[in-house]
Structure 1
């Protein structure tokens, strides 16, 4: 018994060998372990490494969808529609410019003709054929039925347009736009020289009825407030025909100052005052068409995102 104990004391490394084998990172390489234990430990180690690699990949490299070389999309389609729409609007403005130019030429041709006497009774349906035609009529101005339309600005000063029925003896009554007066002379008592009495002859332009825009408020005839000349409404209130005549005067600055000082309405000049801005609209729409076409061409010709392709290649290398 004593020899055996002495032997065991002299060989402590033999007793510690299995413990060191379990702690070794590669225990299956040791010959001191049986084959069955070595196979089982190898499986456990392989499975542990696999789970570790999967967790590291899911944390460090999360899944992400990347679009590469994607040229077409909703934004590109909208950008492609803009030049088409702009070109169509520019072409429409070309047609409008041609129409407006011919219309102005027609009205200017009517202005140079001598004035016509106003018929005893006018057909309202035929007024469009005589728009901007110079006419004259004789009668009595009914100042008791005067209507002020406004406010209207002239040279930075607030005022009104004076509308007075012209009563023709044995003939129909028509509405006459006598011109502009300042607000301070709205009361007839403040402009005695502007209230003409007796027979007068009015010369002016025969005009079509006005059209109200969406921003103008409705008239309040019961309060004597007219924000726009509703010819049908004003003719009914004054017992006149829906015929609108704009009294004209020579475009003279001194004459306008003299009339304003005396309280006489300042009439308009015998000229066509239609706005013709279609040339500017043509330039705007065609310019927009050209600019968006260049942007579309640059976007289509642009190369795909190289950074995105590099990332995709790196993903493939994983």
Structure 2
């Protein structure tokens, strides 16, 4: 028996509606050349499995352009240059100290040779320019000490005690010049002349001592204040101008004797210096110091230059074509 016409009509309508929805949802309905996303991915996977990197003409092999192991940072920076200057400078200073040692040794030998010679009488007028040729030469002179023009230089230490150096002009005979005499050291408690009557001799005296060159002031030493009677270093030219003397400096000497020094201190008599050369000669220590520093810094420089870079400072520089 044939189906009714109405049933066939409903079945055909449903099929047509379903077919229309499928055609509208498919991209090929509007763009015949387009491919769906799933199909495109499948094609890429198949292409990738069959395609090799060497087939690309732009591809560069690692064998042709290998990686390079390099050290980061500059190999020779400013710090290394400064470190290289240290041993050179220290070696130069050590060599200079060798020359200074030779000069100081010869100077001390010359002064010690003058000390063993008998004392000379001080001429009536002393040429200040010739004093350098008689430095540390033993001399003697007669005259009267001008205690009213006494000057105290200090503070000065002696055996752990604070005190002063007593400088007194020596007024010589008629036609002879006045010179400055460093009589020696006194303790601070005896700075007043009234407290040391035995240390202020009257009448004619004979002074024997060393003829010395004028000193140069230390940078750290304050300036003298003569208007206040305060002297911190022996400014020979200044003291000579204040007292009307020649700029001639004599250091009175005595035989080094501990008992004699204690007796003089008790009586208020200035303690004179020994007739010896008191120049410092520390250049040997400086030579070992500078040469030792030069050697040590040279070894340090060699270790730094020769040191291989460790793993922490190694880096791989990749090729820019990768």
Relative to the length of structure 2, the TM-score reads 0.80
Is the CA contact 1:69–1:305 (under 8 Å) kept in the aligned structure 2?
Answer: no
Which of 140, 146, 171 is matched with 2:150 structurally?
146
In structure 1, distance between residues paired with 2:144 and 2:137: 22
Which of 113, 125, 136 is matched with 2:117 structurally?
113
Is the CA contact 1:68–1:305 (under 8 Å) kept in the aligned structure 2?
Answer: no
Aligned to 1:168: 172
Please state if 1:282 is matched with 2:290: no
In structure 2, distance between residues paired with 1:83 and 1:34: 85
Which of 88, 91, 99 is matched with 1:95 structurally?
99
In structure 2, distance between residues paired with 1:217 and 1:295: 43
Query: SS at the partner of 2:317?
Result: helix
Relative to the length of structure 1, the TM-score reads 0.81
Is the CA contact 2:72–2:315 (under 8 Å) kept in the aligned structure 1?
Answer: no
CA deviations 1:4-63 (Å, max 9, x no partner) are 45447989x959976xx9xxxxxxxx9998534669x98xxx9xxxxxxxxxxxxxxxxx
CA deviations 1:216-240 (Å, max 9, x no partner) are 1111111111111111110111111
CA deviations 1:169-208 (Å, max 9, x no partner) are 1111100000011111110001111001101111100000
Structure 2 unaligned regions, length at least 5? 1-8, 45-69
Query: SS at the partner of 1:87?
Result: helix
In structure 2, distance between residues paired with 1:31 and 1:264: 134
In structure 2, distance between residues paired with 1:200 and 1:227: 27
For residues 36-47 of structure 1, the aligned pairs below 5 Å read 36=34
Please state if 1:213 is matched with 2:213: no
In structure 2, distance between residues paired with 1:121 and 1:220: 29
In structure 1, distance between residues paired with 2:32 and 2:262: 125
Alignment length (residue pairs): 284
Is the CA contact 1:131–1:208 (under 8 Å) kept in the aligned structure 2?
Answer: yes
In structure 2, distance between residues paired with 1:162 and 1:220: 16
Higher Cα Rg, which structure: 2
Which of 234, 250, 273 is matched with 2:255 structurally?
250
Which of 23, 33, 36 is matched with 1:35 structurally?
33
Please state if 1:2 is matched with 2:7: no
Query: SS at the partner of 1:310?
Result: strand
Which structure's residues are more often helix, by fraction?
1
Aligned to 1:226: 231
Structure 1 unaligned regions, length at least 5? 22-29, 47-65
Please state if 1:236 is matched with 2:244: no
Is the CA contact 2:71–2:309 (under 8 Å) kept in the aligned structure 1?
Answer: no
Structure 2 CA distance for partners of 1:281 and 1:31, relative to 1, 3 Å: farther
Structure 2 CA distance for partners of 1:10 and 1:176, relative to 1, 3 Å: same
How far the C-alpha of 1:252 sits from its partner, in A, is 1.1
Query: SS at the partner of 1:205?
Result: strand
In structure 1, distance between residues paired with 2:25 and 2:208: 131
